[in-house]
Chains A and B, each alone.
Chain A
Amino acid sequence: MPVARSLRNIGHRVVNAVWRAGFAARFFAMTLLYSGTSFRRFHLVVREMFSSGVMSLIIILVSGMFVGMVLGLQGYETLKRYGSESALGTLVALSLVRELGPVLAALLFASRAGSAMTAEIGLMKATEQISAMEMMAVNPIARVVAPRFWAGVISMPLLSAMFSAMGVFGGYVVGVVLIGVDEGSFWSQMQSAVDFQHDVLNGVIKSFVFGVAVTVIALFEGYDAPPTAEGVSGATTRTVVQSSLAILILDFILTAFMFRGD
């Protein structure tokens, strides 16, 4: 009965996915509920911010610089055809602040810090440190999960702002210093086109949402990972894949809400 078996297989997968989604939602709610501890003992959050935020700085800054430089180069080549090289600053700043800053910083954060979070919590579970905490009446969600969540959520907007600022600087270096676009029009056109509320604040909101999504996915995958070497490695892969997909899908939804162009 191969048909019946494959049907049973599909049904099993669907039920499993729904079950996991429910568990993930409960996990998220528990994380929010027990996050009081991480604010009373803020040094827990600070320690996680070091490992997820500060340690991601190099990759964020270097990538931001190069993305901005590429934007400057490509934008110049395209804008030159229409004789509007002076709009280079606008192009670089708007694309970084609205889209590339939040999205690329979140993708880098997911693969740099999210995977590490999953592996760490998965290994904690595999080596029964989580169970040991429960034995000692320490709530593992309050002690292990919530500080990592808040560290990620606080770090993400800061990282994306640094990415955008670095990118604008990269675009400036290529456009103004190397190619020789007029410096005054580079900055003044940028400033007249970029609106603080509409562009910069919406970018910050975006990166905040991405921060929540990435850390929740990473922490849940780690917490839910089968306690084996294989299980942890599979969970790490799933974290990167799922959070990248979540970032891109959420980006589309948020962009549709924010920049409908009324």
Chain B
Amino acid sequence: MERTTLDLWVGAFVVAGIGALVVLAMKVGNLSTYNVSESYQLQAYFDNIGGLKSQASIKSAGVLVGRVTEVRLDTDSYKARVTMNIDKRYQFPKDTFANILTSGLLGEQYIGLMPGGDTETLKNGEIIKKTQSAMVLEDLIGKFIYSKAEGSNEGSK
């Protein structure tokens, strides 16, 4: 008699614990929105990736389509090679443009994919050829000051 009520309590405990895990996975985590298993890999070379990290999101038109799996320096060209996992449901044309963008002013960096007009699509393991590097704030400020200085020089002549 005592064992059955005890079993009930322990069973409820285990169910509640697993339920909490499911809540964490579905409601708190993003397991419901992004499935890792059905994906293909693409690669892209960037001159400068800024603060891009692995696990950063990949978006097209603002929709999450994949994640960055690996960032490393390619020692042949001294460019950054970024490996991306893209959801199988989304196919991109061969002339897709990959930009490194920032969400908000100080937010996380992510890769934005802008599809081109090519009829052929990128296959697993292929390389995105058209890329644009991250905006580095120091470079922008440097360029701004340089152009300002040049402008004032011309004005004085």
Contact = CB atoms under 8 A, between A and B. Distances in A.
Contacts of A191: 27-30, 33
Contacts of B16: 57, 158, 162
A221 interface: no
A252 B31 CA distance: 27
Nearest to A164: B24
B6 A47 contact: yes
Contacts of A46: 6-7, 10
B17 A194 contact: no
Given A46-B6, A53-B10, A262-B71, A196 B30 contact: yes
B24 A158 contact: no
B30 A192 contact: yes
Interface string A226-262: 0000000000000000000000000000000000011
Interface residues of B, number: 29
A59 to B, nearest CB: 14
Nearest to A92: B28
Given A158-B18, A262-B53, A262-B54, A200 B28 contact: yes
Interface residues of A, number: 35
B17 A161 contact: yes
Contacts of B29: 97, 191, 194-196, 199-200
A50 B12 CA distance: 10
A104 interface: no
Given A195-B29, A195-B30, A165 B14 contact: no
B21 A204 contact: yes
What's the dominant secondary structure at chain A's contact region?
helix
A50 B9 contact: yes
Given A164-B20, A262-B54, A194 B28 contact: yes
B55 A97 contact: no
Nearest to B17: A158
B149 interface: no
B73 interface: no
A198 interface: yes
A199 B30 CA distance: 10
A196 B33 CA distance: 11
B10 A162 contact: no
Interface of A: 43, 46-47, 49-50, 53-54, 57, 93, 97, 154-155, 157-159, 161-162, 164-166, 168, 187, 190-192, 194-200, 204, 261-262
14 contacts: A47-B6, A50-B6, A53-B13, A54-B12, A93-B28, A97-B29, A158-B17, A164-B24, A168-B24, A191-B33, A195-B29, A195-B55, A200-B25, A200-B28
